[in-house]
Structure 1
Amino acid sequence: MTTGKGHAMLDVQGLRKVYEGRERRVEAVRDLTFSVAAGELACLVGPSGCGKTTLLKCVAGLLAPTGGEVRLAGRRITEPPPGMAVVFQEYGRSLFPWMRVRENVELPLRGRKSLDRGRRAELVGDALAAVGLADAGGAYPWQLSGGMQQRVAIARALAYGPEVLLMDEPFAAVDAQTRAELEDLVRGLWRERGMTILFVTHDIDEAVYLGERVLVLSASPTVVQRQLRIDLPGERDQLRTRVAPRFAELRTQVYEEIQLAKRGDPAP
């Protein structure tokens, strides 16, 4: 299922992942099939330990699946593809503390031989301005707050110019106010740049606020339990949107689906 906005930019078919150990065999993902349309912002939620991060690593080409496949714009993913960027939860580990902010953002661009130093600097400056850190290029990550560090991680992904942006619970480690600001930042960037975003979160309210569609995963071994269209207005506001009756209805639907998933009950 896609939104109808365009072709499937990201297509996951029959994805399966089994971890084999000496004394233990764990089937983390059983049979995941879904697609994300070009220009869509879709959110993934599910019970704790249901395999959300495993799924995202397989989608990103960082982890080889046991079965099934993932395609980006029709091309099968067997390694990290050039048209994709990932923003992880632990920004402190993804940024190099000995490198200045502008150097951290520029890092993935250095492998592109087609970009000279001037063009790289232009892309870095544009990305930092887009996340509200135009004047922070000369700072070190450890001199910034947690929320600002995550903005740097987002800027690094933007500078790369991805077709698809994967986000793995990127705001879980920041305070509530910063989280709200970053949620609005992501929606703003998505609307401005037309990116395809797959956003993984454990926060139901965040999924409903951000997404055009929410995919609810079952307990492990994971399948897609249900997909819900988020028919909220395109223009969203942290104060008005979250108190709207429809927001409450959608939040309740997602919560009920996750409770079903925890019990192992099939979707109605």
Structure 2
Amino acid sequence: MLEVKGLRKVYEGSGHRSVEALRDLTFRVADGELVCVVGPSGCGKTTLLKCVAGLLRPTDGTVALDGSPVTGPRPGLAVVFQEYGRSLFPWMRVAENVELPLRQRRSLSRTTRRARVAEALGAVGLAGVGRAYPWELSGGMQQRVAIARALAYEPEVLLMDEPFAAVDAQTRAELEDLVRGLWRERSMTVLFVTHDIDEAVYLGERVLILTPSPTVVREEVPVDLPLERDQLVTRADERFVGLRSRVLGLIRGDGQVEKRLG
């Protein structure tokens, strides 16, 4: 469904200086797959996601959705950003924030839009808070609003850029389970960018490990864990521990962790 081929991004600076953030990224995400992207800090994960979303034009390479090139923001793609406080409008009520992207779909009646908003808020556990303002909610609840807004749009592909980095550990665990639950219920295609190795292994069906900038895909690691996952049981599973150590070793790039385990 989603294909990234030979993606390269160079930022041009002043004085003829340039920074090559992405060098040559190629990978595919199948229909209905949940893939996590992890890599060292500053490796260009957010740049990658912006290119995939059509928010940033790549220097070279292509992004295609169902065989159609992604050259700008387009229907079928929705993004949940890390900084939920900046992605929600504080002067608009929760329901209005969720409804906002739907207003651009002229074919949707007001009744249909409101029904989608109510359904999306219910799906993320926020039924009944539509009239509240974002600043009246906790950080975790605000991020749920951002997820609800993406769900209401009914995207083919959901892109998530370190969406839980700014919340506490307990809320993060709840949101991780929320995303996996929604992914299973709705058969969505999800590309999830994170800097947290444990999160990548817990959430993903496959993990893409990126190298330091200029970035390429170092390796793709299949996650051989049960479809049903639990924060306590899954994280104590020997397979989870082994996968976590393997991903850590690949991110470090020196293989020391894997050698010790072997």
- The TM-score with structure 2 as length reference comes to 0.96
Check conservation: 1:42, 1:213, Cα contact below 8 A.
Answer: yes
Match of 1:249 in 2: 242
Check conservation: 2:249, 2:255, Cα contact below 8 A.
Answer: no
Check conservation: 1:46, 1:218, Cα contact below 8 A.
Answer: yes
Check conservation: 1:46, 1:261, Cα contact below 8 A.
Answer: no
SS at match of 1:242: helix
Does 2:150 correspond to 1:157?
yes
Match of 1:22 in 2: 14
Match of 1:5 in 2: none
Q: How does 1:61-140 map to 2 (within 5 A)?
A: 61-140=54-133
SS at match of 1:110: helix
SS at match of 1:228: strand
The 1:229/1:262 distance shift into structure 2, 3 A limit, reads closer
Q: Distance in 2 between matches of 1:47 and 1:262?
A: 15
SS at match of 1:64: coil
Which of the numbers 2, 24, 38 marks the counterpart of 1:10?
2
Identity over aligned pairs, percent: 74
Match of 2:259 in 1: none
1:157 is displaced (CA, Å) by: 0.1
Does 2:161 correspond to 1:168?
yes
Match of 2:134 in 1: 141
1:51 is displaced (CA, Å) by: 0.3
Does 2:176 correspond to 1:183?
yes
Check conservation: 1:217, 1:261, Cα contact below 8 A.
Answer: no
Q: CA RMSD in A?
A: 1.1
SS at match of 2:215: coil
1:262 is displaced (CA, Å) by: 11
1:261 is displaced (CA, Å) by: 7.3
Which of the numbers 232, 240, 260 marks the counterpart of 2:253?
260
- Residue type of the partner of 2:31? A
Count of aligned pairs between the two proteins: 255
- Residue type of the partner of 2:104? G
Match of 2:188 in 1: 195
Could you list the per-position Cα deviations for residues 35-75 of structure 1 after superposition, in whole angstroms to 9, with x for gaps in the alignment? Answer: 00000000000000000000000000000000000001111
- Residue type of the partner of 1:221? P
Could you list the per-position Cα deviations for residues 102-158 of structure 1 after superposition, in whole angstroms to 9, with x for gaps in the alignment? Answer: 000000000001101000000000000000000110100000000000000000000
The 1:259/1:102 distance shift into structure 2, 3 A limit, reads same
Which runs of 4 or more aligned residues in structure 1 lie more than 6 Å from their structure 2 counterparts after TM superposition? none
- The TM-score with structure 1 as length reference comes to 0.94
Gaps of 5+ in 1: 1-8, 264-268
Which of the numbers 50, 55, 58 marks the counterpart of 2:51?
58
1:212 is displaced (CA, Å) by: 0.1
Q: Distance in 2 between matches of 1:256 and 1:142?
A: 40
Could you list the per-position Cα deviations for residues 170-226 of structure 1 after superposition, in whole angstroms to 9, with x for gaps in the alignment? Answer: 000000000000000000000000000000000000000000000000000000000
Q: Distance in 2 between matches of 1:111 and 1:240?
A: 43
Which of the numbers 48, 54, 57 marks the counterpart of 2:41?
48
1:81 is displaced (CA, Å) by: 1.4
- Residue type of the partner of 1:57? K
Q: Distance in 2 between matches of 1:53 and 1:211?
A: 18
The 1:262/1:78 distance shift into structure 2, 3 A limit, reads farther
- Residue type of the partner of 1:13? K
Could you list the per-position Cα deviations for residues 74-122 of structure 1 after superposition, in whole angstroms to 9, with x for gaps in the alignment? Answer: 1100011100000000000000000000000000000001101000000
Gaps of 5+ in 2: 257-262
Check conservation: 1:27, 1:220, Cα contact below 8 A.
Answer: yes
Check conservation: 1:168, 1:201, Cα contact below 8 A.
Answer: yes
